[in-house]
A and B are shown apart, each in its own frame.
Chain A
């Protein structure tokens, strides 16, 4: 796609990334809420949603980076990695407290 003055493809890719990131965040929140309430099936489903949203975040990022010919390892990617690491640590902690 050609570059145009409105940066339309970039803005659309960013909108996708925002949506995927907030989906992952809210799914993690829901997973922890379900874990607290002892509703483990809900935790599993919400965890799967979070993993799927994280994966699609990276897929969108990579596709957009290929179109713009910039490296995909941007601040947003770093932030997403940070979020995922924090989520894993939090999940481990929650499981430790649970059992």
Chain B
């Protein structure tokens, strides 16, 4: 059904698409669904990139000003979790694309609770650190 409405020039080599673990199963879904899945993965990649950017910016700042060690730790964690988020974007793209091809319900977003939890923990840690510093200054 989708082969006839594709109308493009790339349907002859449809079998050569990689990865085979995704394109080897099921049938092609609506093109728009695949494209939306791709955009979701790219949005996750950009989220990971901004985490890496925050880590790099924090490291640069720590090299210029003499910042406490806590910020270095946060920079390392931000860079590593940004990379992990990019990897998880690829993983969840494959999972969602396979579910689309096999006409199954979409899996729940696996990375979302981790990202939310990380942001909450980061906010709490930084807020308590700021309070700690404030109390130390006042005393």
Q: Which residues of A contact B (CB under 8 A)?
A: 1-2, 4, 6, 8-9, 11-12, 15-16, 18-19, 22-23, 25-26, 29-30, 32-33, 36-37
Contacts and interface: CB of A to CB of B under 8 A. Distances in A.
B88 interface: no
Contacts of B42: 12, 15-16, 18-19
Contact of A12 (B39, B45, B46, B53): B39
Interface of B: 7-8, 31-32, 35-36, 38-39, 42-43, 45-46, 49-50, 52-53, 56-57, 59-60, 63
Contact of B32 (A4, A23, A30, A37): A4
B31 A1 contact: yes
Nearest to B52: A26
B32 A29 contact: no
A30 B59 CA distance: 10
A26 B31 contact: no
A29 B52 CA distance: 10
Given A30-B56, A33-B60, A33-B63, A22 B46 contact: yes
A26 to B, nearest CB: 5
Given A8-B35, A18-B42, A19-B42, A36 B60 contact: yes
A36 B57 CA distance: 12
A93 B32 CA distance: 46
A90 to B, nearest CB: 14
B8 A1 contact: yes
Which of B7, B50, B56, B63 lies at the interface centre, i.e. has the most chain A CB atoms within 10 A of its CB? B56
Nearest to B40: A15
A21 to B, nearest CB: 10
B53 A29 contact: yes
A8 B59 contact: no
Nearest to A30: B56
A12 B34 CA distance: 10
B63 A19 contact: no
A17 B57 CA distance: 23
Interface pairs A-B: 9 shortest CB-CB = A15-B42, A8-B35, A12-B35, A15-B39, A33-B60, A26-B53, A8-B32, A19-B42, A30-B56
A19 B46 contact: yes
